[in-house]
């Protein structure tokens, strides 16, 4: 297959890996970053560095985003020199960011109505390790034909791609993903703290529980790091708090009670208020330990 012309915006820890894998797969990559030095490693691999999101969009057939939040997506797409200002009719936009489902639906409608462009919301799960291994899970919202068109691109870093419904449904599915992860991380932190306080070797719990009903990826990955106080490199607690904010807002809008998500949000907000946001999800164990002092 000949490489497709694809643009990538959002070269953070996750986006930089995804963009690199697109280049390695033979696609013709154009990138944009607010700080030119962020794009330098990809430029060294042959990627073109655009001066603005509009210039990037004018040079490609598909634009992929992986930015921080809803406001960042709105700015890079609809702002001055944004994607919409430069893209041709028929260009597709794929958004891997985790943002508000209702805003996503509005963005997709606006892009289609005003610019004759398609929108696929495609948040991912699997983190940087999943991107590195090409094993990300994609929950997509949009038109089947649009998703089919971009699947060869997503295959560079994703192992499973599922269409969840119309625009916004991918983001709504990611809300569920984050609710489940947040609750699981909080439960693991609570259990490990109790075990350590009783005298159990908490580090042995992942192996002891492996294969049982309590086993999970969160237990195997996060419990070991919690037991070792290995905070470095985890997802910043502010990102998880932002995702819980979205979940609770969607709960209010749809009349869906979310008492567990509300408690998890409170835990992350407490970490942030105490200056421990950089301890990320693993920091929930730190929160319990501090309370015990």
The CATH number covering residue 85 comes to 3.40.50.720
Q: Pick the range with the lowest mean pLDDT from 117-131, 141-155, 242-256, 271-285.
A: 271-285
The pair of structure tokens assigned to 160 is: 């499973």
Cα 21 to Cα 23: distance, rounded to the nearest angstrom: 5
Q: Is 174 a catalytic residue?
A: yes
Give the per-residue pLDDT at 229.
83
Average pLDDT over residues 57-78: 98
Picking from 165, 196, 231, the residue at the C-terminal end of a domain is 165
Check whether residue 115 and residue 250 sit in a common domain. no
Angle between helices 101-115 and 70-78 (to 10 degrees): 10
Domain identity same for 141 and 11: yes
- Check whether residue 266 and residue 282 sit in a common domain: yes
Residue 131: enclosing H or E segment and its boundaries? helix 127-133
137, 165, 193: which is the final residue of a domain? 165
Angle at 105 between CA 102 and CA 244, to 5 degrees: 35
- The count of domains in the chain is 2
117 with 258, same domain?
A: no
pLDDT band at 93 (very low <50, low <70, confident <90, very high): very high
Q: Does 216 share its domain with 283?
A: yes
Q: Is the pLDDT of residue 280 over 90?
A: no
Same domain, residue pair 144 and 214: no
Percent of the chain at pLDDT above 70? 97
pLDDT: which is higher, 228 or 66? 66
Determine the Cα–Cα distance for residues 21 and 291; give it in Å rounded to an integer: 43
**Which 3-state string (H, E, C) describes 204-231?**
HHHHHHCCCCCCCHHHHHHHHHHHCCCC
Average pLDDT over residues 244-265: 97
Residues 95 and 224 in one domain: no
pLDDT of residue 236: 87
Contact 283, 271 (CB under 8 A): yes
| pLDDT of 227 higher than 90 | no
Query: Could you tell me if 97 and 73 are in contact, meaning their C-beta atoms sit under 8 angstroms apart?
Result: yes
Q: Which of 27, 115, 174, 222 is catalytic?
A: 174
214, 218, 221, 223 alpha-carbon torsion, rounded to 10°: -70
Q: What is the DSSP letter of 168?
A: T
What is residue 290's predicted lDDT score, i.e. its pLDDT?
Answer: 61
Quick one: CA torsion of 125, 94, 79, 254, rounded to 10 degrees?
-60
User: Of the residues 136, 165, 194, which one is the last residue of a structural domain?
Assistant: 165
State the pLDDT confidence band at 291, using cuts at 50, 70 and 90.
low
**Residue 61: both structure tokens together:** 């057939």
Closest CA to 89 of 111, 115, 109: 115
Q: How far is CA 127 from CA 188, 234, 292, in A?
A: 19, 10, 31
Give the whole-angstrom CA distance, residue 247 versus residue 252. 9
Q: What is the DSSP letter of 66?
A: -
CA dihedral of 28, 41, 12, 51, whole degrees rounded to 10 = -60
Say which range, 101-110, 140-149, 284-293, has the weakest mean pLDDT.
284-293
Helix (H) or strand (E) holding 235: none
Same domain, 178 and 136: no
For the stretch 153-180, pLDDT in tens is: 999 999 999 999 999 999 999 999 999 9
Q: Are 49 and 23 in contact (CB under 8 A)?
A: no
Both 19 and 131 in a single domain? yes
Kindly indicate the confidence band of residue 230, based on its pLDDT and cuts at 50, 70 and 90: confident
pLDDT digits (tens, 9 = 90+) for 100-129: 999 999 999 999 999 999 999 999 999 999
Residue 246 burial (10 A CB sphere; 0-12, 13-18, 19+): buried
For position 215, which CATH number holds?
A: 1.10.1040.10
For the stretch 207-222, pLDDT in tens is: 999 999 999 999 998 8
Over residues 41-57, the mean pLDDT reads 98
When pLDDT is cut at 50, 70 and 90, the band that residue 293 belongs to is very low
Residue-level pLDDT at 1: 43
pLDDT the model gives residue 216:
96
- Residue 3: band (very low, low, confident or very high) from pLDDT cuts 50, 70, 90: confident
* Domain containing residue 268: 172-292
Is the distance from CB of 110 to CB of 103 less than 8 angstroms? no
CA distance 289 to 229: 11
Q: Which tokens hold the place of 281?
A: 């999800």
Identify whether residues 220 and 151 lie together within a single domain: no
pLDDT value at residue 283: 85
């Amino acid at each position: 297959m000949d490489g497709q012309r694809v643009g990538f915006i959002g070269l953070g820890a996750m986006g930089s890996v995804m963009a690199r894998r697109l280049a390695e797969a033979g696609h013709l990559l154009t990138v944009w970053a607010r700080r030119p030095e962020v794009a330098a490693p990809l430029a060294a691999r042959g990627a073109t560095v655009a001066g603005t999101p509009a210039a990037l969009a004018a040079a490609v057939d598909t634009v992929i985003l992986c930015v921080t939040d809803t406001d960042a997506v709105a700015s890079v797409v609809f702002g001055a020199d944004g994607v919409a200002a430069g893209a041709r009719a028929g260009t597709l936009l794929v958004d891997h960011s985790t943002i508000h489902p209702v805003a996503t639906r509005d963005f997709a409608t606006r892009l289609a109505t005003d610019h004759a462009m398609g929108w696929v919301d495609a948040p991912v799960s699997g983190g940087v390790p999943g991107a590195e291994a090409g094993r990300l899970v994609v929950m997509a919202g949009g038109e089947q034909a649009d998703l089919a068109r971009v699947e060869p691109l997503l295959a560079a870093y994703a192992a499973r791609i599922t269409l969840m419904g119309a625009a916004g449904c991918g983001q709504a599915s990611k809300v569920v993903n984050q609710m489940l992860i947040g609750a699981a991380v909080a439960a693991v932190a609570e259990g490990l703290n109790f075990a350590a306080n009783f005298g159990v070797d908490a580090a042995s719990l992942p192996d002891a529980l492996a294969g049982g009903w309590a086993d999970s990826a969160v237990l195997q990955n996060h419990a070991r790091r919690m037991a070792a106080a290995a905070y470095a490199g985890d997802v910043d607690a502010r990102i998880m708090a932002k995702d819980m904010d979205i979940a609770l807002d969607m709960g209010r809008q749809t009349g869906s009670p979310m008492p567990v998500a509300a408690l998890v949000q409170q835990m992350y907000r407490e970490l942030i208020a105490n200056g421990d946001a950089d301890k990320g999800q693993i920091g929930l164990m730190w929160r319990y330990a501090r309370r015990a002092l």
